[in-house]
């Protein structure tokens, strides 16, 4: 029997998205083309595979059983075929999907893009949202090449590599009436109102846990979803923000702001990248991982 291997990523993307519309968008094909592929899958496997319900398409029991088998098969094929290919970054022409969290997008992605433009101008990147669930990023199905951030209990089909560690610092406005020196005391910290960043995913648990561990209290006045909104908010209020060190390094040049050490040592947090096992031996992917690791080391070790 002949099998259409193009149906494997269609099935896995549908398993992840539970929507023909979203799956078609991620695969870069039309909805009719994806619907046609689903029809062929149903005929081949003799099962409906996905049942339309009010809140999306729900996989059948057979689809649930087939998903890990198909993912492993696709990973094995990729290892066999892609591992034999040579890669020349200067001549490569391809697009890769990355899902960095907001911290990585702000601190590392500009340098990564600059490096790619210099060494591999034919490689383009599309950044996908780093959602509250790794499945939403596309990395579990392998349609997204890399996710970057912090990962807690990743699934077995993901490979995780440590990139660097970062610490925390405080930011207040330069003429803050209560914080006049170059240090902020524990008492001052606990008296101030705070701007809190709630990026998607479980990265946000790190600061909360560090504060609790050190017995440091914080009254949050406003929570935001991205680091970019914090400087403008802190610059026009008496609020304080506790942010990663690399972000504070960028903000130190803003004359409206003042960067200070945290009143107690809140430790560090890891920054990691993860990818599906199907990308393990892909030459372009291996090269990109090397570039990202190199950039992360350079950025984290750059003099302040």
- 225-237 tens-digit pLDDT: 888 899 999 999 9
Q: Which residue has the higher pLDDT, 199 or 173?
A: 173
pLDDT at 86 over 70: no
Q: Which residue has the higher pLDDT, 278 or 11?
A: 11
pLDDT at 75 over 90: no
Q: Which of 136-140, 183-187, 272-276, 282-286 has the lowest mean pLDDT?
A: 136-140
Q: How confident is the model at residue 81 (pLDDT cuts 50, 70, 90)?
A: low
pLDDT at 203 over 70: no
Please state, for a pLDDT cut of 90, what percent of the chain lies above it. Answer: 48
Q: Which residue has the higher pLDDT, 56 or 125?
A: 125
pTM of the model: 0.71
pLDDT at 82 over 80: no
Q: How far apart are CA 129 and CA 138, in angstroms?
A: 10
Residue 202: the pLDDT is 47
Q: Quick: pLDDT tens for 47-57.
A: 999 998 877 78
Domains of the chain: 7-82 (1.10.10.10), 94-165+270-301 (3.40.190.10), 168-267 (3.40.190.10)
Q: How confident is the model at residue 170 (pLDDT cuts 50, 70, 90)?
A: very high
pLDDT at 247 over 60: yes
Q: How confident is the model at residue 205 (pLDDT cuts 50, 70, 90)?
A: low
Residue 9: the pLDDT is 85
Surface-to-core class of residue 2, CB atoms within 10 Å of its CB (0-12 exposed, 13-18 middle, 19+ buried): exposed
Q: How confident is the model at residue 80 (pLDDT cuts 50, 70, 90)?
A: low
Residue 303: the pLDDT is 79
Whole-number mean pLDDT of the chain? Answer: 87
Give me the mean pLDDT over the 4-19 stretch. Answer: 84
pLDDT at 139 over 70: yes
Residue 73: the pLDDT is 78
């Amino acid at each position: 029997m002949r099998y259409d291997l193009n149906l494997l990523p269609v099935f896995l993307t549908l398993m992840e998205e539970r929507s023909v519309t979203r799956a078609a968008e991620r695969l870069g094909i039309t909805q009719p083309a994806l619907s046609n592929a689903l029809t062929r899958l149903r005929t081949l496997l003799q099962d409906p595979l996905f049942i339309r319900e009010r809140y999306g398409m729900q996989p059948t029991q057979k689809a649930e059983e087939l998903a890990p088998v198909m993912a492993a098969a696709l990973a094995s094929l990729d290892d066999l075929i892609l591992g034999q290919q040579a890669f020349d970054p200067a001549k490569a022409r391809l697009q890769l999907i990355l899902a960095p969290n907001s911290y990585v997008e702000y601190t590392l992605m500009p340098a990564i893009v600059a490096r790619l433009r210099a060494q591999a101008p034919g490689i383009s990147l599309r950044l996908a949202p780093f959602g509250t669930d790794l499945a939403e990023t596309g990395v579990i199905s392998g349609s997204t090449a890399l996710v970057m951030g912090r990962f807690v209990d990743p699934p077995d089909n993901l490979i995780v590599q440590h990139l660097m560690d970062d610490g925390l610092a405080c930011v207040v406005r330069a003429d803050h009436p209560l914080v006049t020196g170059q240090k902020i005391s524990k008492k001052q910290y606990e008296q101030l109102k705070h701007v809190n960043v709630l990026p998607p995913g479980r990265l946000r648990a790190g600061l909360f846990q560090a504060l609790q561990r050190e017995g440091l209290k914080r009254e949050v006045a406003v929570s935001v979803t991205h680091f970019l909104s914090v400087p403008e908010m802190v610059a026009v209020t008496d609020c304080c923000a506790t942010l990663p060190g690399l972000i504070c390094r960028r903000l130190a040049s803003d004359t409206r702001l003042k960067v200070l050490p945290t009143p107690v040592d809140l430790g560090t947090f890891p920054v990691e990248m993860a990818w599906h096992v199907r990308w393990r031996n892909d030459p372009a992917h291996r090269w990109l991982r090397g570039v990202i690791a190199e950039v992360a080391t350079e950025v984290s070790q750059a003099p302040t």
